[in-house]
A and B are shown apart, each in its own frame.
Chain A
Amino acid sequence: MNPAIVALTALHALTANRLRAGLALLGIVIGVASVIAVVALGRGAQESITSFIEDLGTNMLTVQPGGSEEGLFFRGFGTAKSLTLDDAAFLEDKVFAPAVGLVAPEINFWGQASALQNNMPIQGVGVTSEYLEVRNFTLASGRNISPADVINRTEVVVIGSRVAQTLYGARDPVGAAVRIDGREFTVVGVLASKGDEESGFFFGFGNDTVLAPITTAHYRLNFDRSSGGGVAVDTIYLQAVDETSVDAAASQIETALRLQHELGPTDENDFTITNQAEVLAALENTGQVFVIFLGGIAGVSLLVGGIGIMNIMLVSVTERTREIGIRRAVGAKQRDILLQFVLEAVLLTLGGGLIGIAAGIGIASLMNNFDLGGEQLTTVVSANTALLALGVSVGIGLIFGISPAIRAARLNPIEALRYQ
């Protein structure tokens, strides 16, 4: 029998029972749409993480106090105060660490900033003049924290764009006063807005930041002393001189710090060096697992949709037993019947798949740029996912349609004709 006619016959049978076909189709539509939407969301998150980290540059290294046993993402939050401003200065030494370029130590502090009648919580960072370049910040107006500010513990700050907006509105903050935890500072610069547009979701920070000279932060705002008595820092950011010397820089940093900390040959490192490329790889890996996990959950609904298809096809075969008998009596071969019912199932899932892809893309684009309390969702629909979902839904039609179709094809013609 001509395949086009088989397809027409199958289509005809489906349209004969629209409500039932529609409900069976809905299962596939929901399954495919949720796979597409969820994977798009996962990819969006993954891409914003990746672009954030790539923004920082893959030749960046970080050193944090404490051993590596605390784990990749939680170290540095412990109580160890083994890293000091002197360590940072030492790492700038070209003799001990020739592969290291810029060095930018930071101290974190949290506080409440107020100016005019406004106030807001801020993320404070004590920095040196290298910080902006190492962390890829740019100034919108005013000047950077200078080496002199660090030496003199000047009470000046550079503020993030949201801080400027919140505290000063449309006014120019440069030269204005700001109180942080009751102490008065002068605003000398404003950072260019960063993150919201391109890296949204996870890392919109920078805009709530207030940068102060690291010494000012230490002596005026934060009084953590290192175990050795120096100025404790939370993180030291370092740039390798180029991307190929990241590994060399890491080992030079390790040697230099072990020397500086007077560690014996059997002592464990009391600091941890992290390579940005490693973090990127780890995050991408985590992101992928996340996408696969969510996609898998959504895939289960696709499977449930497939079971719905099988159910509908089994009912259809039973209901149309006599039709099968008639077709067999006028010359249909077993494979003609098989093809008719398989095609019916595949048409159903193909239709469901196409509608599901359209719905999934629709949902993904509705979620894209959706404001989630200041953070924006990003979704990325890939053609691959859509094609895969379509392939899977056709496959589901085949897998779940074949057994009812075999049942139909194997019916005894005489018994089928007698069926009431």
Chain B
Amino acid sequence: MSENSVNRVIEASGLARHYAVGEQVVRALDGVDLSVERGEMIAIMGPSGSGKSTLMNLLGCLDTPTAGDYRLNGEHVGSASDDRLSVLRNRSIGFVFQNYNLLPRINAVGNVTLPLHYGGRSSGTSAAARAALARVGLADRAEHKPTELSGGEQQRVSIARALVNEPSLILADEPTGNLDSVTTMEVISTLQDLNYRDGITLLMVTHDAEIANSAKRIISFRDGRIIEDRAIEQVRL
């Protein structure tokens, strides 16, 4: 392994995901080469249906590619078993979804503890969860259930859940898609802060150019392919 590849979180080449819909084949992702270094913050843009979510699912080990090669921290994911994919999702990846995806019946600490439990940890889980909540500024909302939180707060709980296992990669698919402009800024600055202070690698899908400018690199998609990939001058929020 070269010096360079040690610092490479994502290494994908010719990544494709095709769906057979009746007679037709939908090429949701059609040959994507992508490499992401540790500590990057990347915004992914593109029109609806261009394959952004499909890519995020593949990178997040929720889905397996039809063709191509994907290495996460140097490990070939394409040939991994379902159990191994679960472990990778648990240890190496944190998800932030547009609709938060919190369990409605349990409180913030409970939701944040979940990845710790599935990681096999049984002691100090509550303290670790509270620390993660404090990290996103929600120390005083630990006992609240999702229905007792605002949209922005719920999204920050889900960010706490994503970072609690100290993953090498956080994937956020339109994390502010359901939020107003004020809470959007709260959530984006929380994510930016994680990347800036803790060096967490971050990939974030957004339709908003202003939000995209908070990243260090913007990748644009169209019809399942990358049409542009450029570094930008990051705007700190």
- A residues within 8 Å of B by Cβ? 1-2, 5, 12, 16, 322-323, 325-336, 413-414, 417
Q: Which A residues are CB-close (under 8 A) to B161?
A: 330
Contacting residue for A331 out of B57, B91, B102, CB 8 A: B91
A413, B62: Cα distance in complex, Å: 6
Q: Cα distance A414–B61 when bound, in Å?
A: 10
**B105: which of A16, A327, A335, A413 is its contact (CB, 8 Å)?**
A16
Nearest A residue to B100, CB-CB: A326
In contact, A330 and B114 (Cβ under 8 angstroms): yes
Taking residues whose C-beta sits less than 8 angstroms from the other chain, chain B's interface range is: 20 to 34
Smallest CB separation, A341 vs chain B (Å): 15
Please measure, in the bound complex, the distance between the C-alpha atom of A2 and the C-alpha atom of B121, giving whole angstroms.
Answer: 8
Question: B105 contacts A333, CB within 8 Å?
Answer: no
Residues of chain B within 8 A (CB-CB) of A414 are: 57, 62-63
Q: Contacts of A12 on B, CB cut-off 8 Å?
A: 105-106
Known: A1-B117, A417-B97. Is A326-B103 also a contact (CB below 8 A)? yes
Q: Is B180 part of the contact surface with A, judged by Cβ < 8 Å?
A: no
Q: Known: A329-B95, A330-B161, A331-B86. Is A336-B118 also a contact (CB below 8 A)? A: yes
Contact in complex: B105, A330 (CB < 8 Å)? no
CA distance A90 to B106 in the complex (A): 90
Q: Are B118 and A330 in contact (CB under 8 A)?
A: yes
The answer to whether A5 touches B105 (Cβ under 8 A) is no
| Contacts A330-B89, A333-B82, A417-B101 known; 11 new A-B pairs at CB < 8 A | A1-B117, A1-B118, A12-B105, A326-B102, A327-B114, A328-B86, A329-B95, A330-B95, A331-B89, A334-B83, A417-B97
CB distance from B174 to the nearest CB of A (A): 14
Asked if B86 contacts A5 (CB within 8 A), the reply is no
Q: Does B2 contact A (CB under 8 A)?
A: no
Contacts of B106 in A (CB 8 A): 12
Within the assembled complex, what's the spacing in Å between the Cα atoms of A330 and B90?
5
Among A325, A331, A413, A417, the residue within 8 A (CB) of B118 is: A331
Given contacts A5-B122, A331-B86, A333-B83, contact A323 B117 (CB under 8 A): no
**B82 to chain A: closest CB distance in Å?**
6
A2 to B82, CA, bound (A): 20
Chain A hits for B152, CB < 8 A = none
* CB atoms of A331 and B87 under 8 A apart: yes
> What residues of chain A lie closer than 8 Å to B101, measured between beta carbons?
322, 325-326, 329, 417
Q: Which residues of A contact B102 (CB under 8 A)?
A: 326
Instruction: Indicate if B51 sits at the interface (CB-CB under 8 A).
Output: no
Query: Given the complex, which residues of A lie within 8 Å of B105, measured CB to CB?
Result: 12, 16
Q: How far is the CA of A328 from the CA of B103 in the complex (A)?
A: 12
B56-97 toward A: CB 8 Å interface, digit per residue (1/0)?
010010110000000000000000001100110111000101
Closest B residue, CB atoms, query A413: B62
B87 (CB) vs chain A CBs: closest residue: A331
**B22 — which chain A residues lie within 8 A by C-beta?**
none
Query: Given known contacts A12-B105, A414-B62, is B122 in contact with A331 (CB within 8 Å)?
Result: no
For residues 159 through 175 of chain B, which have their beta carbon under 8 Å from a beta carbon of chain A?
161, 165
Bound complex: CA of A417 vs CA of B53, how far in Å? 13
Q: Which residue of A lies closest to B88 (CB)?
A: A331
Residue of A nearest to B83 (CB): A333
**7 tightest A-B CB contacts, nearest first:** A331-B90, A331-B118, A330-B115, A333-B86, A2-B122, A326-B101, A413-B62
- Report chain A residues within 8 Å CB of B86: 328, 331-334
Task: Return 5 A-B CB contacts under 8 Å, by A number.
Answer: A1-B118, A323-B103, A326-B103, A331-B87, A333-B118
Give the chain A neighbours of B114 by CB distance below 8 A. 326-327, 330
Contact (Cβ within 8 A) A331 B82: no
With the chains together, A414 CA to B95 CA distance in Å?
Answer: 12
In angstroms, Cα B105 to Cα A331, docked, is 19
Q: Is B49 an interface residue (CB 8 A)?
A: no
The docked-state distance in angstroms from the alpha carbon of A5 to that of B63 is 27
Considering only CB atoms, which chain B residue lies closest to A328 in the complex?
B86
- When distances are taken between beta carbons in the complex, the residues of chain A under 8 Å from B97 are 417
B177 at the interface (CB under 8 A from A): no
Is B119's beta carbon under 8 Å from chain A? yes
What's the Cα separation between A51 and B49 when bound, in Å? 83
CA distance A12 to B111 in the complex (A): 14
B89, B117, B120: the one contacting A329 at CB < 8 Å is B89
The docked-state distance in angstroms from the alpha carbon of A122 to that of B150 is: 87
Nearest CB in chain B to that of A326: its residue = B101
A123 CA / B115 CA spacing, docked (Å):
81
Is B83 within 8 A of A1, CB to CB? Answer: no
Residue of chain A at shortest CB distance from B104: A323
How far is B86's CA from A414's CA once the two chains are assembled, in angstroms?
A: 13
The residue of chain A having its C-beta at the shortest distance from the C-beta of B82 within the complex is A334
Alpha-carbon gap, A123 to B226, bound state (A): 105
Contact present for B117 and A2 (CB under 8 Å): yes
- In the bound complex, residues from chain B placing their C-beta under 8 Å from that of A333 are 82-83, 86-87, 118
Residue of B nearest to A15 (CB): B105
- Is the beta-carbon distance between A1 and B120 smaller than 8 angstroms? yes
A197–B117 CA distance with the chains assembled, in angstroms: 61
Most buried by B among A1, A322, A329, A334: A329
Cα separation A329 to B173 with both chains bound (whole Å): 13
Max chain A C-beta neighbours (<10 A), residue from B63, B118, B119 = B118
